[in-house]
Amino acid sequence: MLLFGKHINKYYLKYFWLLFLGVLALLFVDWVQLLLPDYVGDIVEILETGIGDEEIPYIVGKIMIAGFCMFFGRMLWRYTIFYASHGMAHGVRKDMFAKAERLSRDFYHKNKIGTVMAWFTNDLENVEEFFGFGTVMIVDAVFLSMFALIKMFALDVMLALFILPPIVLIIIWGALVERIMSKKWDERQKAFDRLYDFSQENFTGIRVIKAFVKENQEIFAFSKIARKNAKVNVSFGRLHVLFDVLIELIIGLIFASLFGFGGYFVWCAVNGAQPFGFDSTLTVSKLVKFSGYFDSLIWPMIALGQIVSMFARSKTSLKRISIFLDAPEDIKSPENAIKLENVKGEIVFKNFSFSYPDSNSRSSLKDINIVIKPGETVGIVGKVGSGKSTLANSLLYFYNLASDSVFIDGNDLTKCDIDSIRENISYVPQDNFLFSDTIENNILFSKENGTEEDARKAAVFSDVDSNISEFKDGYKTVSGERGVTLSGGQKQRISIARAFVKNAPIMILDDSVSAVDTKTEETILHNIMNERKGKTTLIVASRVSTVHKLDKIIVMKKGEVEAFDTPKNLLKISPTYQKMVRLQELEKECTEGGSN
């Protein structure tokens, strides 16, 4: 009953010699363990007959040697087998992490982070447990049982036949329970996923929960999910305990019957009676040996029960991990992909349309035809939901694109190496994600061996250097998880600095100055125009003030390009842009009037 699957089979080969040595050590310990009943039985026989008292110290010495052999043998198999199991888990976890990096955004829309984390932790731990300790239990259940039964039959066939049916009963019972245990464990894991998802979401949004005073409501919702999780776990635990109790009960009954019938056979042998019509040659010393063999058989029988439960858990967990590792990679480089080199920054959209997965074919972008020349700084404006971010993000190839629709320097993106596409683009996302690390390391994220001077130069570019310098630890300040210790404007500007350090020929700022004041915004835009001369920059914005001095502006409306021209010409040809300008002027007048 080994655990096999295409994602772990290679580790049986990789760690074959470790596993082989560990199994040999385990078999050696099993063999030595069955010598102990012989030695104890010999001592009882000497005491029973009164012959050979001088042999007792010698037999005690053999018992001590056997104990030392078992000690070192157990050390060896524990090291080799558990080392192999840890190595397997390490390798599978690396494969899973690499897979997680390759999967598209669509996969994470369908699978919550809590579920994914459960695969990496709970499920992988179950597989590791069976690969290691499960191997030990299987070897003991098979070989120690076989060794013990051989010795028992050799010692007394009648008594061995008497205890054989209950052992067979345990095996049959285990096979029947395995299917039920597997189903129950799957239900348990799904309940755990829901609990993990809810907890992760609440911890992430804890500030929103506190701001809206929804702590009690969320606690109540959590208690409902926790109760369902507890109910499933209790149901599984009851079945597991019931199975173990029944095995323990059977073992206890066998032991009681063994001494009862064994004592009767000894009495018959002493008095010359024939139990059940057979001659009995069982002596006290032989009964002691037989009970010692059966005592050695208890652990394999208990292990057999645990193996059923453990195998059911690990089989279900491996299935869940395999589904993750076998998930289709929607976004991947084609064969003989073009590697973008010496990119100048020309961007062309040709009859480009786009629909998000699971959007029922509703187009987010329709028939886009745009040519952005190398070195141009272009703004993208429009109402919320008009397709601004979708248009800019399509260059990063987060979702599959239609062929011959998006080009960089004349190269069709669907025929290019994805890594080379993204290496040539600096990106500032809307959510401004920061890692729980120092501000310096966050800025230098894309630059290996970067210095604090590089980080400072980028911070000056994004007008956040003065803020960072005011912190007690300066650029060594730890930003906290998701930049929790920083303001929204500081996170935006640090994200811009991180993109600037990359010094890519194309930069995309996705509504990345919305949280800063007008003066800071003007400083950043001035630095972009000066520091990124000759490089292409796309700036997605909600305010006209952000883009009114750029080379050109794309005006989006309901997923289509309403106009693409200079700011001056847009005032003549674009109703949407004209309205945005009027609203901004009106807002400015109201603000100035209010201040007066």
Q: What confidence tier does 373 reach under pLDDT thresholds 50, 70, 90?
A: very high
Summarize pLDDT for 80-118 with one digit per residue, the tens. Answer: 999 999 999 999 999 999 888 888 777 877 777 777 888
Please report the pLDDT score of residue 360 as a whole number.
66
Q: What is the CA radius of gyration of the chain?
A: 36
In tens, the pLDDT along 166-193 reads 777 776 776 667 667 767 777 887 787 7
Pairing of strands 425-428, 506-510: parallel
Domain positions in the chain are 9-325, 347-568
pLDDT at position 105, please?
Answer: 77
Q: Is it the case that residue 337 has pLDDT exceeding 60?
A: yes
pLDDT the model gives residue 442: 87
* Average pLDDT score, the chain: 84
pLDDT tens per residue, range 284-311? 788 888 888 888 877 777 777 677 777 8
CATH architecture, domain 9-325: Up-down Bundle (1.20)
User: Please, which contacts does 262-266 make with residues 24 or more away whose CB atoms are closer than 8 Å?
Assistant: 262/159, 262/287, 262/290, 262/291, 263/287, 265/156, 265/158, 265/159
Sheet holding 377-382, edge to edge: 425-428, 506-510, 536-540, 377-382, 552-557, 560-565
The span from the CA of 473 to the CA of 486, in Å, is 14
Dump pLDDT digits (tens) for 49-75: 777 777 888 888 988 999 999 999 999
Write the CB contacts of 62 (distance below 8 Å, at least 6 apart in sequence): 35, 39
pLDDT confidence tier of residue 327, bands split at 50, 70 and 90: confident
Q: Which amino acid is at 582?
A: R
Residue 43's nearest CA partner among 29, 32, 21, 58 is 58
Backbone φ, ψ for residue 556 (5° rounding): -100, 145
In this structure, are residues 282 and 265 in contact, taking their beta carbons and an 8 Å threshold? Answer: yes
Cα 453 to Cα 461: distance, rounded to the nearest angstrom: 12
Q: What percent of the chain has pLDDT over 70?
A: 93
Eight-state DSSP code of residue 470: H
Give CA–CA dist 509/500, Å, rounded: 11
Q: Which of the residue ranges 63-67, 162-166, 480-484 would you say has the lowest mean pLDDT? A: 480-484
The letter for the amino acid at 526 is H
Q: List the structure tokens of 125.
A: 């731990």
* Amino acid type, 218: E
Tell me, what amino acid is at 536? T
Q: What is the mean pLDDT of residues 323-339?
A: 86
Reported confidence tier of residue 209, pLDDT bands at 50, 70, 90:
confident
- In this structure, are residues 352 and 365 in contact, taking their beta carbons and an 8 Å threshold? yes
Q: What is the DSSP code string of 56-68?
A: HHHHHHHHHHHHH
Q: ∠ at Cα 364 (402, 554), nearest 5°?
A: 90
Sign of CA dihedral 174, 178, 180, 182: positive
Structural contact between residues 545 and 584, judged by C-beta atoms closer than 8 angstroms? yes
- Determine the pLDDT at residue 589: 65
CA 532/CA 526 separation, integer angstroms: 10
- At 382 the three-state DSSP class reads strand
pLDDT at 432 over 70: yes
Can you name the residues that pair with 539 across neighbouring β-strands? 379, 509
Q: Are strands 377-382 and 552-557 parallel, antiparallel or unpaired?
A: parallel
Tell me the average pLDDT across 211-228. Answer: 86
Residues 252, 147: Cα–Cα separation, whole Å = 21
Between 229-238, 338-347, 475-484, 539-548, the lowest mean confidence (pLDDT) is in: 475-484
Architecture of the domain spanning 347-568: 3-Layer(aba) Sandwich (3.40)
* CB of 504 closer than 8 Å to CB of 426: yes
Sign, CA torsion 73/76/78/84: negative
What count of Cα atoms within 13 Å lies in the side-chain half-sphere of residue 385?
A: 3
Residue 354 in this model has a pLDDT that exceeds 80: yes
How far, in whole angstroms, is CA 247 from its chain's centroid? 35
> Over 90: is that where the pLDDT of 200 sits?
no
Residue 449 CA to residue 471 CA, distance in Å, equals 24
What are residue 426's DSSP bridge partners? 507
